[in-house]
Structure 1
């Protein structure tokens, strides 16, 4: 207990120290405070500050520390932090980042703010960032860094070792890359291992010890990149255009991070949260994003409620049915969500496409029939024993069985259909599944109860 209290007190003291140092403009103190923390802890403390204090802190601390904090933040938040700064200061921070991170940030910024920062950068570097930010996020082009350990085919082993020995800042940015060999036109022709360099005579040409490298096209998607890194123990893979020109390198770390971000994003979308929402964001923005999804759900739930309204007489005659209505819709919804989850995963892995909808349906309905019958028998027995009515057990069990079959069909197929028409299946599948399973569950229970009314009353 005392440890918890002490931890809270330390957090409060640290936040107060950061705020006081920012107000006083004490850059040295701020840098010293952040050096005590991990990046995750430092970002949390930064976000606890007011918007003005955050801006002051990012302006005062060293560009290296500021770059680490911005990189630690989700892309959208990182872009917001950079947009709040003066363009010249934002450029200083950008200079400490690799090109792939720069492109991600620029791509997430408003056009005016992005151009203001790019105008402060070296013209050639700015053009490179613009080029990288133009690629789709989940492709090799969108994930690659343009800093490449590139060597001409005319170079010798000695030439490369001299480059490495310089300990130049650019060499640090290569992240352990092997030297990639290009010809006069910049086309990738080979790769040399660092071990091979050390084991070869210094006067030897690189072309005599290079091997043909594996490369990917700039439009290779994330799922294919995942397969490559799962199959091969590479730290990075070179990226080329259609003519074979070397454009950059996509690293294993970049692919792993992109896969994690995609999984997190899809999970949030299934819960109705669109975008990289954090509680440090403006309340109005967070409210608007959530209301879009919640407002649509009001309409969908009114449709489901209208089914109940149409069977008021049945409900009044057999009030016990009301106890089981939410059970039927909820259990069917769970089955449907399982189907949605599997389809979303297979879509992300590239294992199914919209044209596979019929095949997916056959596989899902097979599971739905088995599970539907099993669950129907189980809940039917419960209803019979609980309310002492075998007819009620038959109604509830049959309704759950039918609704489960419908739910898995919708959950398995609808994401594919939404994908085909260009809608985001992660956002739309959940509300649609919930509405249909509720409406169908109410309909199955109440219509079967109406048919069985002589045996229920």
Structure 2
């Protein structure tokens, strides 16, 4: 680090310094400035630069620092940063990453750019990336890293300690893995704890102190991996093929990060944001992605509005009903969103499957009946007290109770049905729930009001 860099007084000063250093091509200055920042701060400053300055910064700073910044970004953004660079520089940066991260980033690139980078990578590393890319992202194969602390069954404790003592970057990538023991055919036969190594005579063979390891196949789902890490205090789990050959290791951190990213992604999708979006992305790209979802919502809301149009005479006669229409639809929508959230979580954990839709519906209806009656009584009393009409209170209360039951039924079951037909439940459940609860809420209120008209006017 350059010890003579002037103190950073504000974000504005820092931004100006970074831009000036990039314009001047001052690699020493850029490295020193970024070293003072946390990764999240450094990434924010990088993304605030224009495209040309970003390219200059990523070209001039050390490959290690550039790799850290790219890894800190969402995968789509990180892939975009690499695509902006010359292929040779992108390869330098990717070489600093673990194989699982390499596969995620290259998988997010356009085919031409990805192939250009793979063609310049080390042949063995490129083969690992291609193999990892074949697996689904939320499986053991998609989450594993191929950098494995692998030892032959003919090795002794002394041999392993010598490997650990080496100042080798490959050792750093093992992330605290225990040594996995393989035979001459690369089949996994055992695992040795690091503590066991230190407590055993140096001349002892690894086979005399190893234990049979728990392993998974590459198709294992993330929910299965989560169960293993919840049950056992492992830092990693080895991945083997059908013949028992060691393919890689899934770390606890990788599973935790994948679960966090899944939760964030599903939450964004429920709000209509279907891809990784940052405000540093091109405005037209962000606008186009949002409009695709918002445009569909216009159609759905027109359907809901048509219900109101069909009951214009009732609204004119009892104008007080208009005050309660949004309350009924919004409160029912909240109940439905709770059901959606529970189903999405259980889907992600593997606790329910599409075939469990009827069982899920029965459980949600039970909750919906209780909550619907309770909420209906509360809002009915409010309507009665506010407008002085017990008939209006009965109409609004009954409508909310019925709509709540319908909303939780839809919220609980629709994600499972969408999953069954191959649609993304996180994207489609929200708009569908909103439309149906609005339409049904308006219908219940206005149709009940029409029936109760003699007591309302």
| TM-score normalised by L of structure 2 | 0.97
> Helix, strand or coil: the match of 1:216?
coil
| TM-score normalised by L of structure 1 | 0.97
Q: Which residue of 2 aligns with 1:138?
A: 138
Q: Which residue of 1 aligns with 2:155?
A: 155
2:326 is equivalent to residue 326 of structure 1: yes
Stretches of structure 1 lacking an aligned partner (at least 5 in a row): 1-6
CA contact (8 A) 2:335 2:407 kept: yes
Once the two structures are superposed, residues 119-171 of structure 1 have per-residue CA deviations (whole angstroms, 9 ceiling, x without a partner) of: 11111211111111221111111111100010111111222122112222211
Q: Which residue of 2 aligns with 1:401?
A: 401
Superposed, 1:308-387 pairs within 5 Å as: 308-387=308-387
Instruction: Give the total of aligned pairs.
Output: 451
> Helix, strand or coil: the match of 2:373?
helix
Structure 2 CA distance for aligned equivalents of residues 128 and 324 of structure 1: 60
Structure 2 CA distance for aligned equivalents of residues 181 and 247 of structure 1: 13
Structure 1 CA distance for aligned equivalents of residues 294 and 343 of structure 2: 24
Q: Which residue of 2 aligns with 1:4?
A: none
Q: Which residue of 1 aligns with 2:293?
A: 293
Q: Which residue of 2 aligns with 1:262?
A: 262
Q: CA deviation at 1:61?
A: 0.5
> Helix, strand or coil: the match of 1:44?
helix
Q: CA deviation at 1:9?
A: 6.1
Once the two structures are superposed, residues 52-105 of structure 1 have per-residue CA deviations (whole angstroms, 9 ceiling, x without a partner) of: 100000000010110010011111100000010000000000111111111110
Q: Aligned pair in 2 of structure 1 residues 206, 9: CA closer, same or farther (>3 Å)?
A: closer
> Helix, strand or coil: the match of 1:138?
coil
Stretches of structure 2 lacking an aligned partner (at least 5 in a row): 1-6
Q: Which residue of 2 aligns with 1:427?
A: 427
Structure 2 CA distance for aligned equivalents of residues 223 and 163 of structure 1: 34
Q: Which residue of 2 aligns with 1:15?
A: 15
Q: Aligned pair in 2 of structure 1 residues 302, 117: CA closer, same or farther (>3 Å)?
A: same
Q: Which residue of 1 aligns with 2:51?
A: 51
2:116 is equivalent to residue 116 of structure 1: yes
Structure 2 CA distance for aligned equivalents of residues 84 and 216 of structure 1: 37
Q: Which residue of 2 aligns with 1:35?
A: 35
Structure 2 CA distance for aligned equivalents of residues 205 and 452 of structure 1: 87
Structure 2 CA distance for aligned equivalents of residues 146 and 77 of structure 1: 24
Q: CA deviation at 1:248?
A: 0.5
Q: Which residue of 1 aligns with 2:177?
A: 177
> Helix, strand or coil: the match of 1:249?
strand
Structure 2 CA distance for aligned equivalents of residues 449 and 197 of structure 1: 79
CA contact (8 A) 2:157 2:197 kept: yes
CA contact (8 A) 2:158 2:202 kept: yes
> Helix, strand or coil: the match of 1:181?
strand
